Structure 1
Amino acid sequence: MGILSYAVAGGGFAVIGAWESLAVIGAWESLDSSNLDPNPSSPMAQIRASPPKSVGSSSIPVALLSYLFIANSIFTFFSSINSRDRVGSMIQLQILAVAVLFLVYAILTYLVNSKKSVFVTLPSSITTLVLLFGFVEEFLMFYLQKKDVSGIENRYYDLMLVPIAICVFSTIFELKSDATTHRYAKLGRGIGLILQGTWFLQMGISFFTGLITNNCTFHEKSRGNFTIKCKGHGDYHRAKAIATLQFNCHLALMVVLATALFSVVANKKGYLPDDHSKYRPLGAEMENLSTFTLDSDEEDEIREQRNVAKEAGLNGISSHD
Structure 2
Amino acid sequence: MGTLVGHVAPGFAFLALGLWHLLNHIKRHSLQPNSYISTPWFPSSKVRYIELYLIMLGSSISIAMELFIGPKKHQPFADGTIPSNHIHNFEHATIALTFFTYAAFAILLDRNHFKRNTRDALTQLLGAIAFAQQLLLFHLHSADHTGVEGQYHLLLQIVILVSLATTLIGIALPGSFLISFVRSASIFFQGAWLILMGYMLWTPEFIPKGCFINFEEGHQVVRCHGEVALHRAKSLVNLEFSWFLVGITIFSVCFYVILGRVIGEKVEYATLSREDEYISDDVESQEDTKYGASKSSFVGAGKEGFVASIDIER
Using structure 2 for the length normalisation, give the TM-score.
Answer: 0.70
8 Å Cα contact 1:219/1:226 also seen in 2 = yes
1:11 to 2:12 alignment? yes
CA deviations 1:54-105 (Å, max 9, x no partner) are 3338423322321222121222354565699833322222222221111111
8 Å Cα contact 1:164/1:192 also seen in 2 = yes
Which of 26, 38, 42 lines up with 1:54 in the alignment? Answer: 42
Q: Quick check: 52-61 or 15-24, which moved more?
A: 52-61
Change in CA separation of 1:54 and 1:232 when aligned onto 2, cut-off 3 Å: same
- Cα distance between partner residues in 2 of 1:215 and 1:51: 48
Residue 131 of structure 1 is matched in structure 2 by 127
CA deviations 1:154-174 (Å, max 9, x no partner) are 011101012101101110111
Residue 20 of structure 1 is matched in structure 2 by 21
8 Å Cα contact 2:139/2:154 also seen in 1 = yes
What SS is found at the alignment partner of 2:222?
strand
- Cα distance between partner residues in 1 of 2:262 and 2:158: 29
1:1-321 map, 5 Å:
1-31=2-32, 54-56=42-44, 58-75=51-68, 76-77=70-71, 78=74, 86-113=83-110, 117-118=111-112, 120=114, 123-178=119-174, 180-181=175-176, 183-210=177-204, 211-223=206-218, 225-264=219-258, 267=261
Letter in 2 for 1:110: I
What SS is found at the alignment partner of 2:241?
helix
- Cα distance between partner residues in 1 of 2:105 and 2:183: 19
RMSD: 3.0
Q: Quick check: 102-111 or 255-264, which moved more?
A: 255-264
8 Å Cα contact 1:28/1:269 also seen in 2 = no
8 Å Cα contact 2:27/2:260 also seen in 1 = no
Q: Quick check: 225-234 or 125-134, which moved more?
A: 225-234
Change in CA separation of 1:255 and 1:185 when aligned onto 2, cut-off 3 Å: same
- Counting aligned pairs with the same residue, the percent is 20
- Cα distance between partner residues in 1 of 2:157 and 2:191: 13
What SS is found at the alignment partner of 2:173?
coil
Change in CA separation of 1:258 and 1:201 when aligned onto 2, cut-off 3 Å: same
Using structure 1 for the length normalisation, give the TM-score.
Answer: 0.69
Query: Shift in Å at residue 111 of structure 1?
Result: 2.8
Residue 278 of structure 2 is matched in structure 1 by none
Letter in 2 for 1:199: W
What SS is found at the alignment partner of 2:201?
helix
| Structure possessing the higher relative contact order (Cα contacts under 8 Å, 6 or more residues apart) | 2
Query: Shift in Å at residue 204 of structure 1?
Result: 0.7
- Cα distance between partner residues in 2 of 1:96 and 1:185: 29
CA deviations 1:127-154 (Å, max 9, x no partner) are 1111101101111111112534542210
What SS is found at the alignment partner of 1:227?
strand
- Cα distance between partner residues in 1 of 2:54 and 2:182: 18
Letter in 2 for 1:105: Y
What SS is found at the alignment partner of 1:55?
coil
Change in CA separation of 1:158 and 1:50 when aligned onto 2, cut-off 3 Å: closer
Total equivalences in the alignment: 251
- Cα distance between partner residues in 2 of 1:218 and 1:81: 27
What SS is found at the alignment partner of 1:123?
helix
Query: Shift in Å at residue 50 of structure 1?
Result: 7.4
- Cα distance between partner residues in 1 of 2:51 and 2:88: 27
- Cα distance between partner residues in 2 of 1:55 and 1:105: 15
What SS is found at the alignment partner of 1:241?
helix
Structure 1 gap ranges (5+): 36-45, 271-321
Change in CA separation of 1:172 and 1:268 when aligned onto 2, cut-off 3 Å: farther
Structure 2 gap ranges (5+): 45-49, 265-314
8 Å Cα contact 2:105/2:123 also seen in 1 = yes
Change in CA separation of 1:85 and 1:203 when aligned onto 2, cut-off 3 Å: farther
- Cα distance between partner residues in 2 of 1:258 and 1:125: 25
Query: Shift in Å at residue 119 of structure 1?
Result: 5.4
What SS is found at the alignment partner of 2:32?
helix
